[in-house]
Amino acid sequence: MSMPEEWTVERQLQAGSERGRSLFRRFEELVGACGDFTHSVLKTTVTFRGPKRGFAQQVGCGKR
């Protein structure tokens, strides 16, 4: 049985447009200015997590 594929922020962003990637990176900078965070990445979402809980999500970054 093969291992499930790992989802990463970079892999999520590959499906999006250049504008979408730029918006995501800018949002990521703004979140970082508020304090430490990590990403929790699933197939269709990226959650920004603070020390105690998730506080923002990016859902879908495909071309629209």
Domain-wise residue ranges, the chain:
9-59
Percent of the chain, pLDDT > 90?
A: 36
Q: What is the pLDDT of residue 56?
A: 73
Phi-psi label, residue 60: left if phi above 0, alpha if psi -120 to 50, beta otherwise: left
Q: For residue 62, how many other CB atoms are within 10 A of its CB? A: 10
**Interval 37-62: pLDDT, tens:** 999 998 888 889 988 877 776 666 55
What is the rounded average pLDDT of the residues 8-22?
A: 90
The model's pTM: 0.74
Q: What is the pLDDT of residue 51?
A: 85
